[in-house]
Structure 1
Amino acid sequence: MPLIYDSTIVTALVLGLISACSLPLGTLTTLFWKPSDRDIAVLMSFGGGALLAALTLDLVAGTVAKGDFPPLAAGCIGGGLLFIGLNNIVNDFGGFLRKASTTMYHLRKQEYRKFRQILSLAKRTDVFCDLSDTDFKVLAKTIHLQNYKKGEIVFTKGDLCDNLYFIAKGSVSLLDPIDKVASKTLDKHDDLGWLAFITGTPYRFTARASEGVSLWALPKATFFNLLPDSPTLVHAVQRWLRSKEATDYLHTHHGLSFSAIIRWHDHEYILWPGEVCLPQPFQ
């Protein structure tokens, strides 16, 4: 490469500054663009390929000059896929324990897969079915398992709803508020507390573990904090709140008149750009 300036030192300094500016430029980019996991994977793949080519410059340059680039590319891709496959196999047999970072990633990945399966099988798919991967990951980060022994109370009638539950294992009995006997039993993949969760009303039943039960708990705050950034989820929630099931629930179990429910729909649950007013009929 011809020298830009007469001085070799100045040329080296300029070229060094140009090559080093990628780090601060990348940092500044994150101020106005937050890349998705897919974007990060593409950028890292490109960077990894560039690094590989730089480290094996003699081999790559000679191969390209001879017109043998397709076999070279196929070998790189095949080697990368082989590495990923073997790495996953090693992790499945406990290899993820080799480092704290891989351990956390593996465990979180397993939880993510399990919760996604439960959510896909849940009966409330009319709200969650169109959730984007980005929105889902926001919810999945705060999802946690809660375990209850047989006979333990999950929540009591009249309690304020803080979580939406999905039954991962076992069954839960809903106790009649008057007779204190089980009036309904929910099993694996059923949701628990959905009506109270989405309408902002207190629980109308007491929930008790019929056996040892594991519940996925989705915090209410996480769900509603996501609404301003997820128009798809907002529309799904609005559609459900205006459904016959929600109207009958508020009228039958909480004594709201139909006119009060309509006013609540029109005035209490207002969505402004960037702002969400939560439905709270009892404030």
Structure 2
Amino acid sequence: MFNIFKKTYNHEERTLFDFMRRGILFSKLTDDELSKFTPHLHLRHYTKGEVIFFRDDPSQALYLISRGIVTLNIDIEDKFEDLVHLKATDTFGDNAILEGTNRPYNAVCFSDHADVYVIPQAVIHNIFEENNKIKAKMMTSMAEIYDRFTGHLFRAYKESFGFFDLGRAFMPF
């Protein structure tokens, strides 16, 4: 049965939905669910070396890379160690979907230019308040991200022959 009242989306909207779904956080959402976020996507332009956010900053937004490369790094004393280089369709700042969090790393534009969609944390939480289904799907995706991260952490520890203190990762909150 065809529903004449069902919202339809144009080619540009569908392209944006497909782009968003390539990131794990949005992969489980329907077009109608994604449409709640799209009016709040703000495209920001960064240049090489420009800081997007610093470690310990409040987590006030979620980021989706449209074009370019962003590096996530951590500062140890006066040195910076790159953790990962992210490219188009990658998301970062995922902990913005959680309340009261701070950034665990720095995010810096690595390529000459990067275009990054920004979704403010307040918008995400408003959408969550209005739609528990969206919140449940995104929290499930967040759990998958952290499960994958934990797997990588243990693999790195095993491969390093225990040269770092894994017990520090499990300190009580």
Percent of aligned positions that are identical: 19
Q: Write 1 or 2 for the structure with the bigger share of helix.
A: 1
Opposite residue 166 of structure 1, the aligned amino acid is L
Q: Distance in 2 between matches of 1:204 and 1:146?
A: 22
Contact kept, 8 Å, 1:122 with 1:189, in 2: the verdict is yes
TM-score (norm 1): 0.45
Structure 1 position 159, deviation (Å): 0.6
Q: Greater RCO between the two (CA within 8 Å, min separation 6)?
A: 2
- Which of 53, 62, 65 is the aligned partner of 1:164? 62
Count of aligned pairs: 149
Map of 2:71 onto structure 1: 173
Where do 5+ consecutive residues of structure 1 fail to align?
Answer: 1-37, 43-105, 261-283
Query: Is 1:123 aligned to residue 21 of structure 2?
Result: no
Map of 2:98 onto structure 1: 199
TM-score (norm 2): 0.70
Opposite residue 176 of structure 1, the aligned amino acid is I
5 Å-filtered alignment, 1:5-84, equals 39=5
Where do 5+ consecutive residues of structure 2 fail to align?
Answer: 154-166
Further displaced range: 144-153 or 114-123: 114-123
Q: Distance in 1 between matches of 2:69 and 2:34?
A: 25
Task: Indicate how the Cα distance of structure 1 residues 114 and 229 shifts in structure 2: closer, same or farther if over 3 A, else same.
Answer: same
* Aligned structure 1 segments of 4 or more residues deviating by more than 3 angstroms: 237-244, 246-249
Q: Distance in 1 between matches of 2:132 and 2:98?
A: 18
Opposite residue 5 of structure 2, the aligned amino acid is D
Larger of the two Rg values belongs to structure: 1
**What whole-Å deviation, never above 9, does each CA across 1:137-166 have from its counterpart, x for those lacking one?**
221011111000111111111111111111
> RMSD of the TM alignment (CA)?
3.1
Q: Write 1 or 2 for the structure with the bigger share of strand.
A: 2
Q: Distance in 2 between matches of 1:147 and 1:162?
A: 18
